């Protein structure tokens, strides 16, 4: 370990960076959590003590070099320090999605061969107990919040505080342990193991080194000019690579403060209180915020509505150019300034986005309208193209060169290559070490000289920006040999606020057909305005007027597709609205809310068959899983509709 406050470049592990931060900015806030209605803070030096005590405690409990430790719970300072403590004690943290059901957890515990688990609360302890008999390797369970656990007599369950207490005693008698253990690790060692959500097959354990995490984190901080006065809201799952970079590694590298919301329902309120300067949200969240704004505007007074729409038009016209630093006439600048005082600034303030200097979105495509809405307000929202295997960043849109249609230019240190079949390959300092216990998959994904297959088809446009077309393994052909790119079409549909999820079929078929999930909030609000009574999702989804509404959206998509020579064959001929929302608990979505195509195809094969027949409705029994694991069946009779395609529309006109 270095003795002086050396430049962070030599600090090649997270525990070393923590010590560094405790030395150079010990009194600065490292992490905050809203608890009992008040933001409670930990400084870097408090964090370092907290981590040291837990690391020593883990050692005292028998944690060995290289042992895997599962970490599971909401974003809590305790759990973030646990990750570093595990690393400092020589172990490897394995964060797990906190909403996973017991069986999903069991697979990860078994596969990772976890000996220890550090979990948030009773709910998570109960889940561990449920699978304990089937995971013989698991020895100790440590919990953070003691509530409701007082009477659990199992000897392998300990409280976080008691482990720390034990650690402090251990530290007294083994004063050199912590320093030696931290110093023994270096950048090339495995820092963390993350399980990919797995749209196909079982999740894979992605092993990432300290270098992967720290170098990519540092590169991004440099590119965006982040410093230790920045702050971020940590609200996305800790098991997701993004949170590990944004709320953990990057905070350690740059020394900025991480803020944990009170709980998952208060995120938007906490966002407003914190006003972070660095922000990531998946497109879904930006869509939700926009929907709420629009719904509230509809309830506002007429004069306010008029003012809002007038200035939003101004913003749409000149806002992007002003943000990108392009020339704009003085009159328009003045108008935009007035709009900023009256509309944009107050709106951003209400949303908690006033202080944002960089906001990212990624994961799936964001609707151009939504993207432009935020940028025109003056919010520096940019798209990234990311993957777990890259420790997040592959491409980032650059300030001043933001094109809504692309994913931007390669991040610092990233090389891009497009294979002959159109697949995007990359090589970067963030490239993962290997999949845990799966050499075959590692070889399939990563070449010997470090290039990683993304599985996405894309191309680099004339500006040098990457454009992603689709998951290349999903791209297929219709029977007339024209290209069928399902994600592309589905994204187009999902840009409509009424459509929450869409699944299209077409590979090896005569035409494209689609399953739709309506957005209950957006369609529900619409229904209220139409004085349409409904009892719940299933009822609303089956109504004729809702079908009309969705058909409208689909026909707009068709008109769009018809304009493209490559895609005009992919217009949607028939569709149905599913009687239930696709759900991760039913295995239909991954924990990061991506559709598991093969599961959907298998489960609803009757419906798919009906889409490719001339039936106008189809009956279905579906099994749903409740949150507590109970199962029940829903029976429904689904309507199937024909949508107009450009050809049929023309034929009808003639």
Partner 1 sequence: MSAEPTVGRKIGDVILDVANVSLSFGGVRALNGVSFDVNEGEVRAIIGPNGAGKSSMLNCINGFYKPTEGMITFKGESHHQMETYESASQGIARTFQNIALFKGMTTLDNIMTGRNLQMKKNFLWQALYFGPALKEELENREVVEKVIDFLEIESIRKTVVGRLPYGLQKRVELARALAAEPDMLLLDEPMAGMNHEEKEDMCRYILDVNDEFGTTIVLIEHDMSVVMDISDRVVVLDYGEKIADGTPDEVRANQRVVDAYLGVQHD
Judged by the rule CB under 8 A, the positions of this chain that interact with partner 1 are 34-38, 125-126, 129-130, 132-133, 147-148, 150-154, 262-263, 265-266, 269, 626-628
Spatial distance between the Cα atoms of 318 and 320, rounded to a whole number of angstroms: 6
- Residue 150 or 302: which CB sits closer to partner 1? 150
Q: Could you tell me the smallest distance in angstroms from the CB atom of residue 159 to partner 1?
A: 14
Nearer to partner 1, 147 or 302 (CB): 147
| Pick 261 or 410: Cβ nearer partner 1 | 261
- Nearest distance in Å: CB 127, partner 1: 9
CB-nearer residue toward partner 1: 151 or 462: 151
Half-sphere exposure of 286 (CA within 13 A, CB side): 29
For residue 632, what are the β-bridge partners?
Answer: 624
Q: How far apart are CA 448 and CA 219, in angstroms?
A: 24
| Alpha helices (H) in 563-645, listed in sequence order | 597-603, 605-611
Q: Which residue has the tokens 């290039």?
A: 451
Q: Residue 86: which of 106, 114, 105 has the closest Cα?
A: 114
> Which CB atom, from 448 or from 632, has the smaller least distance to partner 1?
632
Q: Which is nearer to partner 1, 155 or 173 (CB)?
A: 155
Tell me whether strands 257-260 and 231-233 are parallel, antiparallel or unpaired. Answer: parallel
Determine whether 460 is exposed, middle or buried from the number of CB atoms within 10 Å of its CB (0-12, 13-18, 19+): middle
**Residue 137 DSSP code:** T
Nearer to partner 1 by Cβ, of 145 and 340: the residue is: 145
CB of 644 to partner 1, least distance (A): 41
Residue 524 CB, nearest approach to partner 1 (Å):
15
Q: The dihedral of CA 481, 487, 493, 498: what is its sign?
A: positive
What strands lie across the sheet with 512-518, from one edge to the other? 499-505, 512-518, 572-577, 631-642, 617-625
**Nearest approach, Cβ of residue 270 and partner 1 (Å):** 10
- Minimum Å gap between C-beta 73 and partner 1 is 14
CB of 269 to partner 1, least distance (A): 7
Considering beta carbons, is residue 40 or 598 the nearer one to partner 1? Answer: 40
Question: Which CA distances in Å does 137 have to 63, 104, 195, 205, 291?
Answer: 13, 16, 18, 17, 47
Q: How many other CB atoms are there within 10 angstroms of residue 61's CB atom? A: 18
Q: Which CB atom, from 5 or from 38, has the smaller least distance to partner 1?
A: 38
Q: Cβ of residue 124: shortest distance to partner 1, in angstroms?
A: 11
- DSSP bridge partners of 118: 71, 142
CB atoms within 10 A of CB 151: 5
Element (H, E) at 162: helix 160-173
Q: How far apart are CB 296 and partner 1 at their closest, in Å? A: 15
């Amino acid at each position: 370990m270095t003795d002086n406050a050396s430049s962070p470049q030599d600090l090649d592990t997270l525990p070393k960076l923590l010590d560094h931060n405790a030395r150079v900015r010990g009194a600065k806030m490292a992490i905050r959590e809203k608890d009992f209605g008040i933001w409670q803070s930990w400084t870097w030096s408090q964090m370092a003590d907290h981590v040291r005590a837990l690391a020593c405690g883990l050692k005292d409990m028998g944690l060995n070099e290289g042992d895997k430790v599962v970490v599971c719970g909401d974003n809590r300072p305790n759990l973030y320090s646990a990750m570093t403590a595990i690393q400092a004690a020589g172990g490897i943290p394995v964060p797990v999605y906190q909403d996973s059901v017991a069986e999903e957890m069991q697979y990860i515990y078994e596969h990772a061969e976890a000996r220890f688990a550090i979990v948030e609360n009773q709910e998570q302890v109960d889940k561990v107990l449920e699978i304990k008999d089937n995971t013989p390797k698991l020895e100790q369970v440590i919990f953070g919040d003691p509530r409701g656990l007082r009477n659990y007599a199992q000897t392998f369950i300990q409280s976080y505080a008691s482990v720390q207490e034990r650690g402090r005693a251990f530290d007294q008698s083994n004063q050199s342990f912590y320093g030696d253990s931290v110093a023994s690790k270096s950048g090339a060692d495995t820092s963390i193991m993350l399980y990919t959500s797995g749209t196909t097959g079982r999740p894979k354990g992605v092993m990432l080194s300290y270098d992967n995490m720290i170098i990519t984190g540092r590169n991004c901080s440099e590119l965006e000019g982040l410093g230790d006065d920045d702050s971020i809201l940590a609200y996305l799952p800790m098991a997701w690579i993004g949170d590990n970079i944004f709320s953990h590694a990057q905070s350690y590298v740059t020394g900025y403060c991480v803020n944990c919301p009170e709980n998952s329902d208060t995120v938007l309120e906490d966002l407003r209180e914190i006003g972070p300067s660095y922000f990531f949200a998946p497109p879904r969240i930006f869509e939700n915020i926009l929907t709420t704004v629009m719904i509230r505007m509809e309830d506002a007074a007429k004069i306010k509505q008029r003012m809002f729409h007038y200035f939003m038009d101004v913003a749409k016209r000149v806002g992007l150019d002003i943000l990108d630093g392009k020339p704009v006439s003085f009159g328009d600048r003045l108008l935009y300034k007035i709009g900023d005082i009256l509309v944009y600034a107050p709106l951003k303030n209400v949303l908690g986005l006033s202080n944002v200097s960089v906001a990212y979105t990624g994961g799936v495509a964001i609707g151009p309208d939504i993207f432009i809405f935020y940028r025109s307000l003056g919010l520096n929202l940019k798209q990234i193209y990311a993957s777990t295997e890259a420790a997040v960043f592959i491409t980032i849109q650059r300030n001043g060169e933001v094109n809504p249609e692309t994913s931007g230019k390669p991040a610092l240190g990233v090389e891009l290559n497009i294979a002959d079949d159109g697949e995007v390959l990359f090589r970067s300092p963030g490239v993962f070490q290997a999949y845990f216990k799966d050499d075959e998959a590692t070889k399939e994904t990563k070449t010997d000289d470090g290039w990683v297959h993304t599985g996405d088809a894309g191309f680099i446009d004339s500006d040098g920006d990457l454009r992603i077309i689709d998951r290349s393994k999903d791209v297929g052909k219709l029977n007339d040999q024209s290209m069928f790119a399902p994600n592309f079409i589905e994204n187009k549909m999902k840009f409509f606020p009424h459509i929450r999820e869409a699944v299209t079929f077409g590979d090896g078929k005569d035409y494209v057909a689609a399953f739709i999930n309506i957005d209950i909030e957006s369609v529900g609000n619409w229904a209220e305005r139409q004085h349409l009574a409904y009892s719940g999702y299933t009822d609303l989804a089956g109504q004729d007027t809702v079908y009309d509404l969705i058909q409208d959206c689909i026909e707009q998509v068709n008109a769009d597709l018809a304009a493209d020579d490559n895609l005009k064959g992919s217009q949607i001929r028939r569709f149905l609205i599913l009687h239930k929302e696709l759900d991760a608990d039913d295995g239909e979505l991954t924990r990061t809310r991506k559709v598991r195509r093969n599961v959907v195809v298998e489960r609803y094969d009757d419906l798919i068959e009906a889409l490719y027949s001339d039936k106008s409705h189809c009956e279905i029994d579906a099994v749903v899983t409740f949150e507590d694991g109970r199962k029940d069946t829903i029976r429904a009779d689904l309507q199937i509709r024909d949508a107009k395609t450009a050809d049929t529309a023309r034929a009808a006109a003639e």
